[in-house]
Every structure is written in C-alpha cells, then in structure tokens.
A = this chain, B = another copy of it.
Amino acid sequence: MARIALDAMGGDFAPQATVAGALLALAELDPAHSIQLVGRTAVISEQLHALLADPQFASVRAQRSRLSFVEAPDVIEMTDKPSAAVRGKPNSSMLVGLKLQADGNSDAFVSAGSTGAQMAASMLVLRLHAGLKRPAIVTNFPAAQKSVCVLDSGANVDCGPDELVQFAKLGVVYAEDILGRSNPAVGLLSIGEEAEKGNAVVKEAHQLLQSAGLNFVGNVEGRDLPNGACDRGAFDVVVCDGFVGNVVLKFYEAIAPFIMRLLAQAGVDQETMKSALKQLDYSEHGGAPLLGVNGVSIISHGKSSPRAIKNAIKVAVQAIDTRMDEHIGRRLQEGVGAE
C-alpha cells in the first residue's frame, strides 16, 4: 500500500503529461497503491476531468478514488536557480510534495521538474544518509546484453576517491532492488584496463574499490559501455564523477538521432529505425532515483511523456516495495567501522 506524490506541475509538458501519466499508472499498478497529485488543484482537476472524458482512459474512471489532490500554489521553473527556488518557494509543488514524505504522509516523490531544484529540495527535506556529502543520480545506459547503471550522472562534479566508492555501493543497491540483478558487478570508468591507468582520483578509487567488499571487475573504458562488458566480463554498475558521467550521458542522448539522420539520408526507413532503436530513446525511459536521500525521490526527464511519468511512478513503487532506502543505509554502513 504505497502512496506516491507526483509533482503534477513539473516538466515541459505538465500538467497534461503528468496527470495522463498518473492515469496510466493507476491502470497498471496494484489497486492498493494511490497517487497524490501535488500542485495547483484547480488546474490539475480541470486537466483530470478533460482526460477522464477521453475514451482512452475510460477503464480508469472507476479508479478515480485512488487519486488525491494536494494544493501547492507555487511552481519552480526550469529557469529558477535551484538553491534560491528551494528557499524562496516553500509552497511549490516540489517542496510540498517532498514534505508529505518527510511528515509520513507519503512514501515517494516523483518529478519531471528542474533536476537541480529536486536535488536541493530532496537534500533539504529528506536529508542524506550519514556519511554522504551529496546524493547521486543514476542513469540506465542501454547496452548490448542488459542496461548499465552509470553514476554519478551529474549531481557531483568534483569527486574524491571515497565518493566514487559510495557511488558503487549506491549503484549496487539500485541494480539489486530496481533492476533485479544479483551480486551486481561494478566497473570503474577509466582510460585503460590496468589499475594504474586513469587520473589521480580514479587510480586511488581503484585501490579502495578492491577492498570495498563489492563485486569489482576493475577499470572499464568508454568503448565497453555500449557492450555492458569488458574483457574481464559483464558489469551492471559503472562509477565515475558527475562531470564525466553527464558529458557521456548527454553525448549518448544526442548520438542516436545523429546516426539516424545519416541513415535516413541514405534511404533507411525512419519507422524501422525508431522501432529498432526504441531502447535508446531516453524520453521513453522511466525515472532515475536520486540515491542517498532518506526516502524516495525519483527524477524524471524534463521532456517526460505520459508513458515516462508512468514508468517513473513504477520505479517509485519498486523502490518502496524493495525497501531500497533501507538497503542503502545498511550498505553505506558496511565496512565503515572497520576503517
């Protein structure tokens, strides 16, 4: 019986995409779960009425009672400075939605709004697990065999070796709880497979990871990411600082459309490509948990479609069902006393 707070005002296509996403989720989730639509109630309820009149959502009409409204008059805009917005807009859908959880009135928060603001607000309202300086954003990279979880993908730009080890621990719990992987293998992103290759931070992190009690496969290179495997075997989690992770993530998002344009010029059918490369379309993906906060805060892409919102809500439910947050707390404590 999970209660998911959805930032109904967050994202480029809100509130239509968010409310439609909530309805799609209701149709798929266990009937015990409910969704809290956080934002300007007048706007959201009007949107809800319009959508429920649509034959597409006819089957969900009976589920209406699983939706509730939580009023939040302010909205944090994409152009707002995260730290200023978090302080200056306590009545925004972002802050109100997170406070529900901190007060025990909700189990998870999902937003497609400003990632920076969601991170700052989540740190402020939910607080971080002991020992962490910042949360990490994990992204699922499509790869040949199975997806690869890359973290951090943008929350932490200047990282020390110990932070890379924390990312590894966070990523392992994510891979276990959300992706269902057992004993996930961890790789360290570097520029050569040998332990002595990399920059100063990565070389030190390599040493620390060898004795961190993880299934560490060693360094992996940029070329290994699309394969999800290096010469020493497959990996589930790849750790890197948020600068490198964000550059590679954004490059990945842009490269498939570029290649598709080149192929379209050569006469390859667009629909065939779209369907074959569906897994590379980030707007179709669900949400990325902000790992390390006490609670559940799921980041959805700013351009989230209703389907993406639905998938983010499903990730939130998984995080609750598997008690991911509790596992993270336990994993972060492992080995700390021994140091």
Q: Is the CB of B202 within 8 A of A222?
A: no
Closest to A259 in B: B259
Segment at the B interface, from A97-105, A161-169, A261-269, A285-293: A261-269
Segment at the B interface, from A1-9, A270-278, A306-314: A270-278
Q: Which of B158, B257, B266 contacts A276, CB < 8 Å?
A: B266
A155 to chain B, nearest CB (A): 10
A79 to chain B, nearest CB (A): 11
Supposing A144-B258, A268-B272 touch, asked if A251 and B277 sit within 8 A by C-beta, the answer is no
Q: Is the CB of A266 within 8 A of B275?
A: yes
Residue A211 is within 8 A (CB to CB) of chain B in the complex:
no
Q: Which of B157, B198, B254, B279 contacts A222, CB < 8 Å?
A: B254
Separation of A244 and B190 alpha carbons in the complex (Å): 9
Q: Give chain B residues whose Cβ lies under 8 Å from the Cβ of A250.
A: 191, 221-223
Q: Give chain B residues whose Cβ lies under 8 Å from the Cβ of A224.
A: 254
Q: Which of A143, A198, A243, A263 has its CB near the most chain B CB atoms (within 10 A)?
A: A243
Supposing A223-B250, A248-B222 touch, asked if A273 and B277 sit within 8 A by C-beta, the answer is no
CB within 8 Å of B: which A218-233 residues: 221-227
Q: Which of B223, B263, B269, B280 contacts A251, CB < 8 Å?
A: B223
How many copies of this chain sit in the oligomeric assembly? 2
Separation of A244 and B280 alpha carbons in the complex (Å): 22
Supposing A263-B277, A268-B273, A268-B276 touch, asked if A222 and B243 sit within 8 A by C-beta, the answer is no
Separation of A57 and B77 alpha carbons in the complex (Å): 66
Q: Give chain B residues whose Cβ lies under 8 Å from the Cβ of A226.
A: 251, 254-255, 257-258
Residue A253 is within 8 A (CB to CB) of chain B in the complex:
yes
Q: Give chain B residues whose Cβ lies under 8 Å from the Cβ of A252.
A: 222, 251, 255
Q: Which of B157, B191, B259, B269 contacts A280, CB < 8 Å?
A: B259
Q: Give chain B residues whose Cβ lies under 8 Å from the Cβ of A251.
A: 222-223, 225-226, 248, 251-252
Besides the known contacts A157-B198, A189-B247, 18 further A-B residue pairs in the complex with CB atoms under 8 A apart: A154-B191, A157-B191, A158-B200, A202-B243, A222-B246, A222-B248, A223-B250, A224-B254, A226-B258, A247-B247, A251-B252, A252-B255, A262-B277, A262-B280, A263-B268, A263-B273, A267-B272, A268-B268
